Amino acid sequence: MRSRFQFVDDDRDAFEVKRLCEVLEVNRSSYCKWLAGREARSARQRADQRLAARIRAVHAESGGAYGSPRVTAELRETVDHR
């Protein structure tokens, strides 16, 4: 599902941002703040994807036997041994 801010961003070339925000009932300043946080959201999404891949790898290495407590322990051990 696309957020209202994403809708504004996607359609700002076709319509004025001010008008889009009015129609969608969002504050323009909130949209600007959302826009400024784009890089941080992208970085977090990449970090989450790397973590998910590592979780899948640990789970697969255990033959599917490890549950969340053991996977968490394995991930912590990996971090501690760096």
Walk along the chain (82 residues) in steps of 10 and give the mean pLDDT of each run: 92 96 96 95 96 95 93 87 65
CA 65 to chain centre: 28
48: Cβ contacts below 8 Å, ≥ 6 apart:
none
Helices 28-36 and 38-61 cross at an angle (nearest 10°) of 50
* Full-model pTM: 0.65
Place of tokens 């703040």: 33
Measured at the CA of 3, the angle between CA 13 and CA 8, to 5 degrees, comes to: 20
